[in-house]
């Protein structure tokens, strides 16, 4: 039997691994610990569990930094004589490959955070993905933060009434103390992002504040796509792009409608399409990425 490719799609909520016919899920990345030892431990565990002879390990990693993108260190940590090559990429790269393959276009992946990647004839552009403190416009966190801001505006008398207030009061009966509890909560990012689901539901039920937040989120996400496409377009006449929206935020019908409306009104010849596959498919595709592909410059590769 020929040697196999072991693909890794590594996020904070879970690490998905695929080798041959086996799909395995491991606990997510621990952001307070070094990344490479964690990825290597997952690769070794998957090889041991499946008994596969793996020649290539390819990984798409959430929030991969320049400092952590060290394929040679990853290869050394795996310490398996059969593994001859490892490939490391940011998960925006593998999300794009999984969703659009070789097509020109943009993929916006929006969950708790958000990142957009566009690929043109020769250029690649990443937009946002700068984390909840500095960016992630239109993400689940952004929506939740806008929701809580609206709640406190109503509480103070600075803003209109909203059905989001009783949702917040269910969690913090005394809203005057909510900020204290939230700031001291180690899970505050996920707590804030959890309000995005309430915004989606209440927007559907007619809450005007939730509808406004949802529409603005869709506009922010579309703006990121348009910005990314503007940076990669060529001078070719009739250039066409595909755009793909993935992630839990897009489960909101009103948000997706607002996003689609902005995209349809953009200056580009762009079609919204459904994803061909998932991030793990994109991680597997890294192994076959042609050297001349624009995304080839966005990966770190090491050979034994």
Pairing relation of β-strands 124-127 and 114-119? Answer: antiparallel
Q: Are 80 and 267 in contact (CB under 8 A)?
A: no
Whether the predicted pLDDT of 31 surpasses 80: no
pLDDT tens for 59-112 read 999 878 888 888 999 999 998 989 999 999 998 899 999 999 989 999 999 988
CA-wise closest residue to 61 among 84, 82, 85, 38: 38
Give pLDDT, residue 15.
Answer: 93
Q: Determine if residue 105 is left, alpha or beta; phi over 0 gives left, psi from -120 to 50 gives alpha, anything else beta.
A: left
Q: Is the pTM of this model over 0.75?
A: yes
pLDDT tens for 160-200 read 999 999 999 999 999 999 999 999 998 899 999 999 999 99
CA angle 199, 204, 210 (to 5 degrees): 35
**DSSP character at residue 248:** G
Mean local confidence (pLDDT), 124-145:
94
H runs (alpha helix) in the chain: 35-50, 71-78, 91-100, 131-134, 140-156, 164-171, 178-183, 188-204, 208-232, 253-264, 279-285
CB neighbour list of residue 102: distance below 8 Å, 6 or more residues apart: 293
Q: How is residue 304 written in tokens?
A: 């034994």
Mean local confidence (pLDDT), 3-12:
88
């Amino acid at each position: 039997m020929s040697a196999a490719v072991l693909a890794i799609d590594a996020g904070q909520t879970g690490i998905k691994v695929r080798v041959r016919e086996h799909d395995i899920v491991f606990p997510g990345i621990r952001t307070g610990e070094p990344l490479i030892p964690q990825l290597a431990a997952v690769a070794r565990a998957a090889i041991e569990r499946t008994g596969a002879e793996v020649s290539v390990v390819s990984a798409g990693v959430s929030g991969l930094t320049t400092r952590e993108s060290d394929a040679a260190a990853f290869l050394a940590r795996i310490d398996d004589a059969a593994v001859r090559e490892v490939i490391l990429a940011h998960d925006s790269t593998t999300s794009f490959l999984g969703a659009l393959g070789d097509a020109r276009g943009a993929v916006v992946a929006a969950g708790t955070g958000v990142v957009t990647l566009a690929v043109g004839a020769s250029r690649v552009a990443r937009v946002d993905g700068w984390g909840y403190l500095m960016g992630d416009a239109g993400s689940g966190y952004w929506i939740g933060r806008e929701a809580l801001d609206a709640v406190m505006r109503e509480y103070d008398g600075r803003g209109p009434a909203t059905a989001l207030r009783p949702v917040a009061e269910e969690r913090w009966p005394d809203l005057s103390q909510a900020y204290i509890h939230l700031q001291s909560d180690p899970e505050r990012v996920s707590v804030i992002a959890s309000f995005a689901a309430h915004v989606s539901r209440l927007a559907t039920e007619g809450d005007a504040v939730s509808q406004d937040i949802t529409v603005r989120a869709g506009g922010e996400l579309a703006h990121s796509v348009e910005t990314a496409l503007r940076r990669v377009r060529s001078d070719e006449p009739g250039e066409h792009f595909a755009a793909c929206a993935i992630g839990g935020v897009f489960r909101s019908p009103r948000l997706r409608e607002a996003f689609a409306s902005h995209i349809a009104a953009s200056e580009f010849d762009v079609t919204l399409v459904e994803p061909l596959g998932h991030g793990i498919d994109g991680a597997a595709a890294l192994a076959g990425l042609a050297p001349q592909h624009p995304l080839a410059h966005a990966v770190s590769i090491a050979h034994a």
